[in-house]
Amino acid sequence: MWQVHVTRKRQRLLPEIRSLHCCALVIEKFSSIKMTAAENVCYTLINVISDSEPPSEVSLKTDLEKGEIKAKTEALKKVIIMILNGEKLPGLLMTIIRFVLPLQDHTIKKLLLVFWEIVPKTTPDGKLLQEMILVCDAYRKDLQHPNEFIRGSTLRFLCKLKESELLEPLMPAIRACLEHRHSYVRRNAVLAIYTIYRNFEHLIPDAPELIHDFLVNEKDASCKRNAFMMLIHADQDRALDYLSTCIDQVHTFGDILQLVIVELIYKVCHANPSERARFIRCIYNLLQSSSPAVKYEAAGTLVTLSSAPTAIKAAAQCYIDLIIKESDNNVKLIVLDRLIELKEHPTHERVLQDLVMDILRVLTTPDLEVRKKTLQLALDLVSSRNVEELVIVLKKEVIKTNNVTEHEDTDKYRQLLVRTLHSCSVRFPDMAANVIPVLMEFLSDTNEAAAADVLEFVREAIQRFDSLRPLIIEKMLEVFHAIKTVKIYRGALWILGEYCSTKEDIQSVMTEVRRSLGEIPIVENEIKKETGEVKPEDEVSAAPAQKLVTEMGTYVTQSALSSSRPSKKEEDRPPLRGFLMDGDFYVAASLATTLTKLALRYVEIVQEKRRQNSFVAESMLIMVTVLHLGKSSLPKKPITDDDVDRISLCLKVLSECSPLMNDIFNKECRKSLSHMLTVRLEEEKLSQKKESEKRSVTVQADDPISFMQLTAKNEMSSKEDQFQLSLLAAMGNTQRKEAADPLASKLNKVTQLTGFSDPVYAEAYVHVNQYDIVLDVLVVNQTSDTLQSCTLELATLGDLKLVEKPSPLTLAPHDFANIKANVKVASTENGIIFGNIVYDVSSAASDRNCVVLSDIHIDIMDYIQPASCTDAEFRQMWAEFEWENKVTVNTNITDLNDYLQHILKSTNMKCLTPEKALSGFCGFMAANLYARSIFGEDALANVSIEKPIHIGPDAPVNGHIRIRAKSQGMALSLGDKINLSQKKANL
């Protein structure tokens, strides 16, 4: 289906013309950049209806000669499609010149531009056809046409011509178009002159001078941009001369021209560093541009040109303003990445530390990913100079989240804030006293994850900072009765039991426990509530009488008195009793341990025997009543044997009160916590040291010193061009680190689709670019016949979608062609692309021929990236994910650590288990692995392996790997990948 939008109204044309112009300009500008193999610049997209039969040449000739405008338009479309399919229609050339070329219809004229672009213009010996002289004259008239659309379209068409004989007679008319009243004609005239000068310099040798004069007098922004672009590529010295004359007015130019100026300054200053002082002031001015794109490019250019603190600060400030003012979250994330890149440079980090408070302004963005990156950046930049201000801002943000309506992102944001404050307090202990009172309020939060983070922070703070223990105990007792989740309740009980050391605090904890437990004994109290006498306020009501029919058909009336007593709601129960009635007796075991610690400590502190016995007896009474409740039928679940053993052990310890048990309960537990926190701190320091080593630039004593002023120009050009790198990234041609032999790594992605003996040979190069896959299929005609309507038919299996159907083509004998197909990827699971090639043999009466293709399997490793998460998050996801795939280990690797490293390399996953936990040799190993796909899907794995020593030292590793994911496809795909790569190739 053709879509040709042509109208005579100039106002409706200009937006489309402007967009077309921009696309063409980008193509012209970057056509010299290396593309993938056999890829050409595409100017026109034509969708062909494959079901229609090709018309005969006679009928086309009739329609072109005698038909109406509509019939001629349709016939011309069919001619273009047939020529694109490889048909030769020499008899129609003169017909089109005589009967179609003189027409003034705009649709016809646009179609003719496509026709003259693709039609053969030379004889077999390379000479220009005589008929082209008539065509040249027609286009000379179109270049002088009063309608600016026709002039501009013709000038754009001339950019595509490669025959100098056709262009030479048109040069005076092209020059004249530079003075046309309409900007659309003038800017396309500049493009035409540039392409002609680039391809055939002898036709217009004075083009740079001509365009320079045009640029000086031009007022239109788009025309100036095209002219300046041409000077950059054709005569850079003239472009610099022009820029020098108007460098103070650059801030008044349009954004499209400012972008080109930024690019020119970048390239000039990198090629010739002595020019930096001349143009760096211009870049500073462009940081104040009204266009966000100009500001972004100017800031990036300024950072590459200068490492002075003032320059870095100006660029960083510009980035921060862009993040705050731009509404698109993708833009915010991109600019945040640039700020993080700045931070990675050691000399820039100190400059950015002064801008931490400005960076925190980005937290006003509601997007969680933006907030996460912002908090991480602020945490990396915090220092003793600004930590106090940082903590104040974060405390305000935490309080804000408490007043906002509950939302999933609000809870996660609160967790991020708590963790950030936790890290600040660990690095700067003086801040802990300001942070703890605010965070302790969130222990009563209904969101268990946020409360658990607060509890972990409180546990570490009370262990590390002795001076804060009274404050933490006081705040903990204040919020203890309001805690709503059992996990947080257990943690709070443990902290109170471990760190309450005064008589008053111990008695306060006992009071809170009794308050939270309610009246004891619990069983008798609950039975009284269930079977107690009816209270006065209880209502006695009679149920409405019902008429019933007996077996004999007679009616009887039945009524009954019902006593309705308002049942005690679960919410009205004290929290600890509520947990126990729900059958959660693990908290009872924690309570028994806490009471035991407190009782043993109370015996040491208080010398009066009567009080000692009273406290111990009360503790034992609570444990016994909990045991009684667990054995009764009142709770929803009975008490487990483990919990019974734990409570019984605590009862025995309190009955004996031996010094050994006292040491175990009151000293060894705290030592274990201290050891765990010390190990964790050492791991964090080790990871920070590794990061700093990566960032630090190590210079050896005998390394050569490079002076920019003495660097040759050819050496300068070898440096990476940021503009070309960003363009290549946008086009999907990101330069990845190839293997030692780049040819070998590319050949690994080539898939043979047919056999060498098939009439049509095909192979595909699979190019993966994040969310889509490009198949570059080479099709070779191995027969001596012409293959017509040769079509690549593809289908997909899995979460893949074919974007467009490849167009049919005609293959000459022993000819070849490249067909490209785009496939969209929606999730991480194994996908299969399959299909066939169908074709017709010229002058053959048989049916269509078909060659079945081999399947192309898409590797999910292109979409999986290593990631990290906390142990709590890993456990939570492990419990939530419903799809599990258990893979049995079957390998020839004999070392446990070698097998783990092999799995990590094969699956792109990251090992969350610390290195210290994996060090040493004990015959077995357990490790947690984690990865995330580019689509945001999480993948978890637990490796449980052992080495059967009794078989011998050469025995292979055995065990299993459990994979969990949210989707079935992810779990199965990862399991298949592990199965395929388990065995290590023998070197």
pLDDT tens digits, 620-644: 888 888 888 888 888 888 888 888 8
The model carries a pTM of 0.68
- pLDDT tens, position by position, 90-114: 788 888 888 888 888 888 888 888 8
Residue 787 and residue 781 in contact, taking contact as beta carbons nearer than 8 Å:
yes
d(CA 292, CA 277): 25
Non-local (6+) Cβ contacts of 233 within 8 A are 29, 194, 198
Residue 492 and residue 443 in contact, taking contact as beta carbons nearer than 8 Å:
yes
- pLDDT tens, position by position, 43-72: 555 665 655 566 787 888 888 888 788 888
The residue among 768, 775, 729 whose CA lies nearest residue 39 is 775
Give me the mean pLDDT over the 750-764 stretch: 90
Write out the DSSP string of 882-942: -EEEEEE---S---HHHHHHHHHHHHT-EE-S-HHHH-S--SEEEEEEEEEETTS-EEEEE
Give me the mean pLDDT over the 282-292 stretch: 85
Predicted local confidence at residue 961, as pLDDT: 92
- pLDDT tens, position by position, 444-502: 777 677 788 888 888 888 888 888 888 888 888 888 888 888 888 888 888 888 888 88
Q: Which residue has the higher pLDDT, 195 or 666?
A: 195
614 φ/ψ angles, rounded to the nearest 5 degrees: -65, -45
Predicted local confidence at residue 160, as pLDDT: 85
The residue among 224, 199, 197, 220 whose CA lies nearest residue 212 is 224
Predicted local confidence at residue 760, as pLDDT: 92
Non-local (6+) Cβ contacts of 544 within 8 A are 559
Q: Which residue has the higher pLDDT, 910 or 434?
A: 910
- pLDDT tens, position by position, 319-356: 999 888 888 888 888 888 888 888 888 778 888 888 88
- pLDDT tens, position by position, 361-414: 888 888 888 888 888 888 888 888 888 888 888 888 888 877 665 556 777 888
Predicted local confidence at residue 163, as pLDDT: 84
Residue 974 and residue 939 in contact, taking contact as beta carbons nearer than 8 Å:
yes
Predicted local confidence at residue 549, as pLDDT: 43
Predicted local confidence at residue 565, as pLDDT: 42
Q: If you compute the radius of gyration of the chain from its CA atoms, what whole number of angstroms results?
A: 39
On average, the pLDDT of the chain sits at 78
- Over 70: is that where the pLDDT of 34 sits? no
Predicted local confidence at residue 22, as pLDDT: 38
- pLDDT tens, position by position, 890-928: 888 888 888 888 888 888 888 988 877 777 777 788 999
Give Cα separations from 245 to 69, 250, 333, 682 (angstroms).
Answer: 53, 10, 38, 60
Q: Which long-range contacts (CB under 8 A, 24 or more apart) does 64-71 make?
A: 64/92, 64/95, 64/96, 64/99, 64/100, 65/95, 65/99, 69/103, 69/105, 69/108
Predicted local confidence at residue 778, as pLDDT: 92
The residue among 591, 484, 580 whose CA lies nearest residue 523 is 580
- pLDDT tens, position by position, 113-149: 888 888 888 887 778 788 888 888 888 888 888 888 8
Q: Which residue has the higher pLDDT, 627 or 772?
A: 627
Non-local (6+) Cβ contacts of 66 within 8 A are none
Strand ranges for 826-904 from DSSP E? 831-841, 849-852, 856-858, 864-866, 883-888
Non-local (6+) Cβ contacts of 341 within 8 A are none
Predicted local confidence at residue 31, as pLDDT: 35
- pLDDT tens, position by position, 562-612: 434 444 444 467 788 888 888 888 888 888 888 888 888 888 888 888 888
Residue 265 identity (one-letter amino acid): I
- pLDDT tens, position by position, 913-970: 887 777 777 778 899 999 988 777 889 999 999 888 777 778 888 899 999 988 888 8
d(CA 482, CA 496): 15
Predicted local confidence at residue 846, as pLDDT: 64
d(CA 250, CA 242): 11
Q: How much of the chain exceeds pLDDT 70, in percent?
A: 82
d(CA 289, CA 278): 19
Provide the 10 A C-beta neighbour count for residue 804: 10
Question: Which tokens go with 618?
Answer: 């009360």
- Over 70: is that where the pLDDT of 720 sits? no
In the DSSP assignment, the letter for residue 545 is: P
Give me the mean pLDDT over the 834-861 stretch: 81
d(CA 385, CA 362): 21
Predicted local confidence at residue 495, as pLDDT: 87
